[in-house]
Amino acid sequence: MAARFLHNFQALVAWLRDNVHAPEQFTLSYAAEHSQFIRFNHAKVRQAGDVRQSDATLKLIADGRQADLNLTLSGDDELDRQRLAEALAQLRQTLPLIPADPYLMLNDSAWDSRLQQEQPLPDSTQVLTRIEAGAGDLDLVGIYAAGPVCRGFASSFGAFGWHQANSFNFDWSLFHANGQAVKANYAGQVWDDEQFARRLAQAREQLDYLGRPLKTLTPGEYRAYLAPAALDEIVGMLGWGGFSTQAIASKNSPLQRLYAAEAELSPLVSMTEQVSGSLSPAFSGEGYPRSDVRLIDRGQALEQLTNARSAAEFERQANGAEPWEAPACLSMAGGALAEADVLQRLGTGLYIGNLWYLNYSDQSAARLTGLTRFACFWVEDGRIQAPVSTMRFDDSVYSLLGSQLEALTEERELMLSTGTYGQRQTGSSHLPGALVKRLTLTL
Amino acid sequence: MFDSTTPLRQRFAALRSGGEFFSLRHVRQSNQHLSVRKNIAEPPSLGRDEGAMLTVRVNGVEAYAATADLSQAGLQQALDRAEALARQIAAHALLDLRDQPVPDHRADYLSPNLDSAFPSLADCYDLLNQESASVPADQRLVNWQASLGLTEVEQIYFNSAGAELRQAQRFVFPGFSVTAFDGSDSQTRTLGRENFGQQGGFDVIQRCGLVGAGARVADQALQLLLAPNTPSGVRDLLLMPDQMMLQIHESIGHPLELDRILGDERNYAGTSFVKASDFGQLQYGSKLLNVTFDPEIREELASYGHDDDGTPATRQFLIRNGLLERPLGGALSQFRSGLDGVANSRACNWNRAPIDRMANLNIEPGDKSLEQLVGGIERGILMRTNRSWSIDDARNKFQFGCEWGQLIENGELKGVVKNPNYRGISAGFWRNLSAVGDASTFQVLGTPNCGKGEPNQVVRVGHASPACVFSQIDVFGGDA
């Protein structure tokens, strides 16, 4: 199937190169997948489906103007050429109706980037059997998503990019009868029964702790350890506008004060958009090769994520960011705290496995609120005592990752995106856990 | 309109399946997003999308396959894939649907004013340019943007029981925002955007108030920049409709979704503090609280004739005089739970399967004018226009923030305050509902961005509400 996607994309590119000539220029970005989605509830299959989809976004540029049209493709070469021709005609009709774009910027280099990974995926019948056998009488709920994901890019300047990878992502939770739950994930390209069994066993072990009587905390300030998945929620929230050139320039970035050097994070904090070695395509949908971008170095703001339009408007260098200028593969440097020592260093406080539904109490001050979720425990003298009831925090990033950050774990966790809005996402994050001296709980 | 009907009907009739029931849901849509930022037109973003979902039931087990290949062979292959999957999961299936009834209705549904022409792309840009240009020159106004989204959708549903349901809809999303910055703090004031969308034509733009909004919104952003922070403390809270919609959405809509109560969403969107046994028993709010699932307000975003599983949509009370009566559960969830529900089984597109979603979820008007609502408050605060939302996975502990706050003292509106936030717990919050605005305060709003489901789906939902007063709520401001 994946080879069919590549053939389909190449045929569209060939047609465009025959039919779009200077002074007109084009870019074509492409996305395709053939996915199997299997939802689980109570360790049984609640819903299952097979989705075959591909789409392309054609950008036409002429006379200093540009317009985009995204079209769904059928997979039939002839029909898709016809759809592309209609899209091209619509864009040709549109361009004269709009003014010249002062921020039009194109990458006119002819680059070539190809990555094709065709590792066979696990047989879904076997996967179902493994999951059901592994879960046993556990109350398991979640989703298994698998299949090839493709991204492509081509331009009239001769650029060509292709990224294709087969992958699976099993994202699940185990629920205790008391309503407490632990979250787990097993994702990759090669299914390993032993590795899956280990992950399941780890989750089952935490579930035992969750069966203890619940501890209800009162609002106040607590020492806390944020596991990588919890930190991922904070960093993910900052990613929306935090590092964006346009958001920073238009004063809508939550990291406004960091980038204005009016505030700083802990010297322990360094973050990079780590494209190299990640599972994300090495090129953007705008046709820029992507390379690593150092965003924060030892607590100080460094570079920003800049797409082509922002590069033109704010006179910066485009660095492969998508139009929304958010990290796709953020990597945060680890620290010196051994994971095995986390509970002991925490002493008495909160072990937070996950956070949930973050948003801003005061965006200018980078003040966030959100809730504990999944496997959060009260720890005393380095020992887990009890699961805690859901609590709301409200605190500034300049506190959590600044003045109150005590240590980061040496070990980091690679988390692959489970997002499937519109299509399966290829993003990831690579983060340590964070020990903080003070976390403010409000409700 | 509906020019795909005949060929699709013929192809559907020619499909062959070993299942006892199968259906085809075809979706074709086009969209256009235009924006002018700081008097510069951004490139238009256009879209065309078309595909179909085939669902089959084999020995009581259902599975689906989605494809954009709408040829006879393409549809048959998708149906075959769905059937193979249904057989594959049979030994592991949670549900036995052999006794679930199937719909056989035939009907058409059209958005209001669908036959009226929408302004041309050039005219739309003229409007956006005009509003952008009306923002006054002031160094503190650092960013502003006028935008207009348009989506036209046709859906055709056939099933092997003889149903044929067609709907053609047009959705319009106007928006305007201005950011003011004083060198340290920034404040953004918006109109529309994520808080407003309706079905219709140019009339939607007029109802949103986009025409002539530029200077007013800019002035409000500057007022916020100069305003003090919202004081912390317990106050009576007057929520205007463009915050009520978020309050309804998060702390009534999501908790009443029956698939959450049945546990389907526990790994992602979450659970609910509401239990199946609460329906008919739980006093959800004060006696002033009346909540309806209402697909009959034509311009509201999620008005439709049938849901995406083919169930006819009718107005139903979910909460009446504060008593919880009915969940948001479609035909499948009703079959699973034995509870009466509503026609809210919805999918975001052809590539995602229907699940329980909000549609139009409204609060019915009361009997107080806005003046009376304000006049009845001794020490309070008015908040309008949502900008921040956070609630726990059981939809209980929440914290919401607004763009605009205004203190109320001794029955009179006083000064503007910035960064207004409030927090509470759903289970108790609605019992503090102390006054409900009349029809003069009622607004039909909605958002295009409600996310849920595995795989993930984002759908349009409508919320109409009067202004409402809640007594003794914990409010607070920001740091800046």
Q: Of B210, B226, B242, which residue is a domain's last? A: B226
Residues of A in contact with B249 (CB under 8 A): none
The stretch B385-397 carries a mean pLDDT of 97
- Three-state DSSP state, A37: strand
For B123, nearest residue in chain A (alpha carbons)? A97
Tokens 């990831």 sit at which residue? A428
- Inter-chain contact B266–A141, Cβ cutoff 8 Å? yes
Residue B191 sits in the same domain as residue B252: no
Q: Which of B82, B143, B419 sits opposite A50 (nearest CB)?
A: B82
In this prediction, residue A119 carries a pLDDT of 85
Task: Give the pLDDT of residue A394.
Answer: 97
CA distances from A304 to A179, A266, A309, A359, B22 (A): 42, 19, 14, 22, 51
Look at residue B350 and tell me whether its pLDDT is greater than 80. yes
A429/A264 Cα distance (integer angstroms):
22
Q: How far is CA A101 from CA A66, A98, B25, B451, in A?
A: 7, 9, 40, 33
Same domain? For B162 and B265 the reply is: no
Asked whether the beta carbons of residue B142 and residue A250 sit closer than 8 angstroms, the reply is yes
- Asked if the Cβ–Cβ distance from A421 to B458 is below 8 Å, we say yes
Pair B192, B243 in one domain: no
Residue A3: is its pLDDT beyond 90?
no
Domain of residue B21, CATH code: 3.30.2290.10
Grade residue B425 by pLDDT with cuts at 50, 70 and 90.
very high
Is-contact B268 A419, C-beta < 8 A?
no
Query: Nearest-CA neighbor of A56 among A22, A78, A77, A27?
Result: A27
Which residues in B lie closer than 8 A to residue A34 (C-beta atoms)? none
Which residues partner with B3 through β-bridges? none
The distance of A387 to chain B (nearest Cα, Å) reads 16
Report the topology of domain A2-209. Answer: PmbA/TldD fold (3.30.2290)
Minimal-distance CA residue of chain B relative to A398: B479
Interchain CB distance below 8 Å, B478 and A361:
yes
Question: Do B262 and B195 belong together in one domain?
Answer: no
Structure tokens at B137: 């020159």
- Residues in chain A closer than 8 A to B85 (CB atoms): 36, 48-50
Using a CB-CB distance cutoff of 8 angstroms, which residues of chain A are in contact with residue B455? 35, 37, 51, 143, 145, 420, 424
Mutate to test the interface with B, among A97, A362, A389, A417 (most CBs of B within 10 A): A362
Question: Residue B316's domain spans which residues?
Answer: 233-476
Instruction: Give chain A's radius of gyration (CA, Å).
Output: 24
Q: How high does pLDDT run on average in chain A?
A: 96
In sequence order, the β-bridge partners of residue A244 are A305
Q: B450 and B410 in one domain?
A: yes
- Residue A286 reports pLDDT greater than 70: yes
Residues in chain A: 443
pLDDT per residue as tens digits for the range B130-178: 999 999 999 999 999 999 999 999 999 999 999 999 999 999 999 999 9
Closest Cα to residue A49, out of B20, B344, B347? B347
Which residue in B168, B262, B130, B213 sits closest to B385, CA to CA?
B213
List of residues 6+ apart from A384 with CB closer than 8 A: A209, A343, A351, A377, A378
The Cα A237–Cα A302 span in angstroms is 19
Stated length of chain B:
480
B239 and B161 part of one domain: no
Asked whether the beta carbons of residue B456 and residue A358 sit closer than 8 angstroms, the reply is no
Give yes or no: residues B382 and B330 share one domain: yes
SS3 B390: strand
**Strands (DSSP E) found in A97-219:** 112-117, 139-155, 160-175, 181-188
* Confidence band, pLDDT 50/70/90 cuts, at residue B382: very high
Torsion of CA B96, B102, B108, B113, to 10 degrees: -40
Whole-number Cα distances in Å, B140 to A55, A93, B37, B183: 42, 39, 16, 8
Residue B13 shares a structural domain with residue B50:
yes
Instruction: For residue A336, give how far its alpha carbon lies from the nearest alpha carbon of chain B (Å).
Output: 32
- Give yes or no: residues B241 and B161 share one domain: no
Residues B337 and B250 in one domain: yes
CB-based burial of residue B16 (10 Å sphere; 0-12 exposed, 13-18 middle, 19+ buried)?
Answer: exposed
A·B CB contacts under 8 A: 252
Q: Where in chain A is the domain with CATH 3.30.2290.10?
A: 2-209
* pLDDT tens, residue by residue, B429-462: 999 999 999 999 999 999 999 999 999 999 999 9
Question: What percent of chain B has a predicted confidence (pLDDT) above 90?
Answer: 99
* Interface contact A51-B351, CB threshold 8 A: yes
Q: Residue B480's pLDDT band (boundaries 50, 70, 90)?
A: low
Claim to verify: residue B255 and residue B172 sit in the same structural domain: no
ipTM over 0.90: yes
**Same domain, yes or no: B150 and B251:** no
**Where a domain ends, among B226, B257, B277?**
B226
Contact A75 B89 (CB under 8 A): no
Out of B44, B181, B264, whose CB is closest to A94? Answer: B44
Which tens digits make up the pLDDT trace of A75-84? 999 999 999 9
The residue from B177, B211, B226 where one domain ends is B226
Q: How many CB atoms lie within 10 A of CB B198?
A: 29
Average pLDDT, integer, range A229-241 = 97
- Buried/exposed B276-312: b ≥16 CB within 10 Å, e otherwise: eebbeebebbbebbbbbbbbebebbbbbbbbbbbbbe
Beta bridge partners of B319: B291, B324
Residue B476: its H or E element: strand B468-476
- Closest-approach residue (CA) in chain A for B32: A69
**Closest CA–CA distance from residue A101 to any residue of chain B (Å):** 7
Provide the residue type at B335 as one letter. Answer: F
CB contact under 8 A, B68 and A179: no
Residue A277 reports pLDDT greater than 90: no
- Phi first, then psi: what are they for B37, rounded to 5°? -115, 125
Give me the number of domains chain B comprises. 2
